[in-house]
Every structure is written in structure tokens, then in C-alpha cells.
Copies of this chain bind each other. A is one copy, B any other.
Amino acid sequence: MSYSYTHPHPAVTTDIVLFTIRDHRLEVLLIRRGSDPFKDSWALPGGFINIDEDLAACALRELEEETGVAGVYLEQLYTFGTPGRDPRERVISVAYYALVPPDRISIRAASDAKEVAWFKLDKLPPLAFDHESIVAMAHKRLSAKLNYSTIALQFMPEKFTLSELQQVYESILGEKLDKRNFRKRVLTLDCIRDIGESRRNGNHRPARLYAVKSPGTVEFIR
């Protein structure tokens, strides 16, 4: 089967920077490529768009096919199209970033990915193509968005403590926050609610549990 056009067409892909937070550290999901180019290199999940497929749907499908991950929060990041960024042919990649709570994921390698793994953001291996700059831009966008939206709640499981939420902010921003100021701020946002339960986490006072009021939605603040 072959498809012909009167003018040359670039290939279009989506690439996804999937973030989660584990052990108080921001992590990115990578696949080890099973075929050339960059065979055996680590890369972002992603791939070629189907001819009748929406861009975001393509990103979700590739993520599911290559890693088994579904049900994430997804947002378009930027479109990367420098000629030569893929040695095979002209490839324009619409990059997305996605967030998932660490308890909502069971990854598996599939499709043309030999292997799937989470990497600490500050300990990434060398990446294929221009994927390092895609990851860098995604992290920058995510950090910026913490300050004017409730996007961080997308990392939270169904029930969580305020300390856990604070650790999420600290992991992304890479700095310690003041406990009292942090709690005052997130509680006045009125986006999480005290569910009246508590959880024992060690040899100390149990922590109150909270839940996101509108899961799946990200609101702008300030």
C-alpha cells in the first residue's frame, strides 16, 4: 500500500512527557526504543498520528500502546519541527505533557518499545532525538503552572495528606516551602476538602486526609 501526494508531506508524531511523583521526586516515563533510529536509546513515548485521529487522541493512544498507561491528565506543550530532528524523514512532533498519580499506573512494555521505566527527572539517561529539550520545556511549563493553577492536584491519589501535597509542590519546584503558609494557601483555594478521616504513617500523630473536589479539572487561580 502506498499513499501519494503532489507535494511532499512531513510525517507528524506526538510525543508525551508523562510525569509522576514517587518518593518525593519528580519522575518521567521513558521507553527503550526497539528499532532504529536510536535503537536501544531511551526516548519519550509517542509515535505517528493516524490519518483520521485527533492530536490528543494520538498522544493518549501511543501512551497506552507503548506503556499501558491510561486515564492521565493531558495538555498540549509545543510543536517541534526543526528539519533534521529525525534522521529518517521530516518529522513534526506535537509534544504533550501528562500527569498521573503514582498509584494509578501499571506500566508494561508493548508495541515497538522493548522496555518501559520511570526515571528521576534529575537522573535522565541520554535521550533520542531532541527529547531532552522537550522534557526541559515540559518541566518548565509544569513549574510555571503550579503558580497560577491547581494542576498539582492531578498528581494526588484519591486520599492524601497536606504534607503529601506539599511534597508534590516541593518536588516540582525543587525548593522547600513553609508549612503554615502552604496550608493556608491551598486551603483558601477551596479545591480540596477534608474527608474526616486520618491515616497513621509512622510513630507520630496521624494526618488528616483530603480529597480533590473536582478531580480531572484544572482551575486557574490569582
Residues of A within 8 A of B (CB): 1-12, 48-49, 51-55, 76, 78-79, 81-83, 90, 92, 94
Contact = CB atoms under 8 A, between A and B. Distances in A.
A203 to B, nearest CB: 43
Contact of A94 (B5, B6, B7, B79): B79
A7 B10 CA distance: 11
Contacts of A1: 6
Number of copies: 2
Given A53-B83, A81-B55, A3 B5 contact: yes
A3 B9 contact: yes
Contacts of A3: 4-9
Given A2-B5, A12-B92, A76-B78, 7 more contacts: A2-B6, A5-B5, A10-B51, A49-B81, A49-B92, A51-B90, A92-B94
Given A76-B78, A76-B79, A90 B52 contact: yes
